[in-house]
Amino acid sequence: MTALVYSENELGKIDGKVTNGLIRHSEKYNIIGVIDSTKRGLDAGECLDGTKNGIPVFGSVDDAIELLDNIPEYFIYGIAPLDPNLNEDQRKVIIRAMKMGMNIVNGLPEFFSEDKEFMQNATKYGVSINDIRKPPARKDLHIFTGKINDIKTPVVTVFGTDCAVGKRTTAVKLVKALKQQGVNAIFISTGQTGLLQGSKYGIAIDVLSSGYSTGEVENAIIQAVEKENPDIIVVEGQGALSHPAFTSSSAIINGAQPNAFIVQHPPKRVHRCDYPKIPMPSIASEIKLIESFSNSRVIAITVNHEDMTDDEVDDVVMAYENEYMLPTADVLKHGCDKLVNILVKLFPSLQQEKEAACQPQK
């Protein structure tokens, strides 16, 4: 399914995290272009990670349609700001995409399917609207049952010290690295971007009440175990346990009952994302809070390299490993070898899967 992603003025920035995630990894949609007039004519991969990936950046919907060979099937709203309300210019862009025949995919908590003007235009132009974060009917939601305690499969969660620090990216890359080693790893999404990327299990939990959030996390893991019989499950974190604006982290801990944590941290970030008056916590304080709340261990630290040089990243990695005695890496720069190694050490059954994958087929 081909898709054009809207990220005006946000490509590569914090509020463009949905777009950034889809540029890096997408199993569900074939991303054929990004809209951001501030980076028109550039390659999206090069803008984001310094490496071209063949996804062009356009200045507008009309610009994209003129230059692409075919009209994309889907138009994904790829911005995730603190304030989810659209301005008039953004509304016009979405209606323009409908007029051009594109189905709309929305990751905001403002549901387009409940917007009279959007629905009228969707009907007029014969397109659909999919609100990724719109929860199922209450009768179809799950409350916590405690069955998670019967699960024998190791569960690891990737948490962080703030929102938009790369928790999902690290989790997705870790799952991919484990699979390459012959380990049957399953990713559980807890946010809209993971679902847009094609995660088979999970739900956007931040639009649910706390009881259902916990139950949906538990249910996603149980479903994955029953259907996939995985060797390990990696759960995406949301926000930060210490962040006063979010309760998602506590719901994930309670629902997943994780055996271990990986914590992602941006060393150069001074204040919380979108909250300039709230200072960032230290990695030490977040680790202490997580371990106290969950009674599980943090087994590794991952670094978000925003505003850092390669030398600074290397220095931080060395300093964290010396201070906290935990394997540390920036997965976008160093890969996931350290994470895979510590997981294999902690969960010996994974080593058996790795060895079995290396055996020649008879």
Say whether pTM exceeds 0.85. yes
Average pLDDT, the chain: 92
Query: What is the mean pLDDT of the segment spanning 194-219?
Result: 90
C-alpha separations of 106 from 5, 99, 114, 287 in Å? 10, 16, 12, 34
Number of Cβ within 10 Å of residue 149's Cβ equals 8
- Burial 54-72, CB ≥16 within 10 A → b, else e: ebbbbbbbebbbeeeeeeb
- Separation CA 295–CA 274 (nearest Å): 30
Number of Cβ within 10 Å of residue 79's Cβ equals 23
Per-residue pLDDT for 217 more than 60? yes
Per-residue pLDDT for 17 more than 90? no
Q: What is the pLDDT of residues 79-108, one digit of tens each?
A: 887 777 888 999 999 999 999 999 999 988
Predicted pLDDT of residue 293? 96
Residue 359 burial (CB < 10 Å; 0-12/13-18/19+)? Answer: exposed
| Percent above pLDDT 90 for the chain | 73
Predicted pLDDT of residue 255? 95
Q: What is the pLDDT of residues 237-271, one digit of tens each?
A: 999 999 998 889 999 999 999 999 999 999 999 99
- For residue 250, the 8-state DSSP code is H
- Separation CA 163–CA 201 (nearest Å): 21
Q: What is the pLDDT of residues 137-174, one digit of tens each?
A: 899 999 999 999 999 999 999 999 999 899 999 999 99
Q: What is the pLDDT of residues 331-356, one digit of tens each?
A: 999 999 999 999 999 999 887 665 66
Per-residue pLDDT for 359 more than 70? no
Closest C-alpha among 33, 14, 38, 36 to residue 22:
33
Predicted pLDDT of residue 354? 59
| Percent above pLDDT 70 for the chain | 97
Per-residue pLDDT for 60 more than 80? yes
- Separation CA 327–CA 311 (nearest Å): 18
- What does DSSP say about strands 297-303 and 74-77: parallel, antiparallel, or unpaired? unpaired
What is the SS3 assignment for 259?
Answer: coil
Per-residue pLDDT for 135 more than 80? yes
Query: What is the mean pLDDT of the segment spanning 32-53?
Result: 90
* Domains of the chain and CATH, by start: 2-131 (3.40.50.720), 140-358 (3.40.50.300)
For the record, the structure tokens of 181 come out as 């080693």
For the record, the structure tokens of 50 come out as 């310094």
Phi first, then psi: what are they for 20, rounded to 5°? -60, -45
Check if the beta carbon of residue 224 is closer than 8 Å to that of residue 203.
Answer: no
- Separation CA 17–CA 206 (nearest Å): 16
Check if the beta carbon of residue 23 is closer than 8 Å to that of residue 44.
Answer: yes
Phi first, then psi: what are they for 314, rounded to 5°? -60, -40
What is the SS3 assignment for 55?
Answer: coil
Predicted pLDDT of residue 206? 87
Given pLDDT bands bounded at 50, 70 and 90, which one contains residue 360?
low
Predicted pLDDT of residue 357? 60
What is the SS3 assignment for 260?
Answer: strand
Closest C-alpha among 141, 83, 140 to residue 108:
83
Predicted pLDDT of residue 198? 87
Query: What is the mean pLDDT of the segment spanning 293-321?
Result: 95
Highest mean pLDDT pick, 15-19, 44-48, 284-288: 284-288
Number of Cβ within 10 Å of residue 146's Cβ equals 8
Helix (H) or strand (E) segment spanning residue 45? helix 44-49
- Separation CA 263–CA 18 (nearest Å): 20
